Amino acid sequence: MYMGYAQTLAWLERLNKEVDARPALAAGRVVPFVIPSFPVLPAAAQQLEGTPVVLGAQDCGWADGPWTGEVSPSMLAELGVGMVEIGHAERRKHFAEDDATIALKVRAAVDHGVTPLLCVGETELAEPGAAAKTVFEQVSAAVSGDWAVAGRIVVAYEPVWAIGAAEPASADYVSEVVAGVRALLAEHGLAGLPIIYGGSAKPGLLPQLSGVSGLFLGRFAHDPANFGSVLDEALALTN
């Protein structure tokens, strides 16, 4: 919500130039995505048509029907949205979204073919093993213990204490936490689940990480050149 309508479309135009400058993205080994505000989605879908960029939404409701102010996953799918952010720390804190609400949204998104980008993370800096356990428990709650559903999500690991900070969590810490989460997921056959890192993520971080599938950029992507730099880092890791 940092950008208005026209500003977002102008930003997307610049972002498309960064993507077009990297034809290697067409191979699909690196998948870029953008998640603008709801009113921008139809115009964004037009701008992104024919590009490798996946369009995402910042939230969703859990069903069609009398839920005034919500946006249903079925409408998101109709608009060409391929991914929806669910359970962001701000939604949990300021809008009182609990595990039950998040689980309803995850199931609804999956049922309509929209990939949940499930936001999870510990609220305070912790020992990596303890943080991994917290994250795993959040994932388990979000899928109500249905590991078939879990296999259809992307996990966005965002330590709450690192969101908006001057620097992200250290690369070693993130790598250790993600390794711990993968070890717990392995017990359910999901060690390879995509897990990306957010929380003041910026260029230069991805090459330092181990076992992390990508980055979830916030304010550092307001400059599309930074987005392009991270794409280059991701592409280099696929070679």
The DSSP line for 92-115 is HHHS---HHHHHHHHHHHHHTT-E
Which secondary-structure segment (H or E) carries 17?
helix 5-20
Return the amino acid letter for 13. E
Count: domains in the chain: 1
Q: Tokens standing for 60?
A: 């969703």
d(CA 214, CA 231) in angstroms, rounded, equals 10
Q: What share of the chain is helix, strand, coil (3-state, %, to 5)?
A: 50, 10, 40
CA atoms within 13 A on the CB side of 123: 4
- What is the pLDDT at residue 100? 97
Residue 148 phi, psi (nearest 5):
-65, -40
* 5 secondary structure, DSSP code: H
* pLDDT of res. 1: 86
Domain extent for 95: 5-23+31-60+68-238
pLDDT < 50: residue spans in the chain: none
Question: Which residues are part of the catalytic machinery?
Answer: 88, 158
CATH number of the domain to which 76 belongs: 3.20.20.70
Closest by alpha carbon to 96, among 107, 105, 84, 88?
Answer: 88
Closest CA to 33 of 21, 51, 14, 60: 51
Q: Are 149 and 118 in contact, with CB atoms under 8 Å apart?
A: no
Looking at residue 174, its pLDDT comes to 97
The answer for residues whose C-beta is within 8 angstroms of residue 158's C-beta and 6 or more apart is 88, 89, 119, 120, 121, 197, 198, 199, 216
Amino acid letter for position 152: R
Per-residue pLDDT at 239: 84
Alpha-carbon gap, residue 228 to 19, rounded angstroms: 7
Query: pLDDT tens across 151-194, in order?
Result: 999 999 999 999 988 899 999 999 999 999 999 999 999 999 99
- Whether residue 159 contacts residue 125, with contact meaning beta carbons closer than 8 Å, is answered with yes
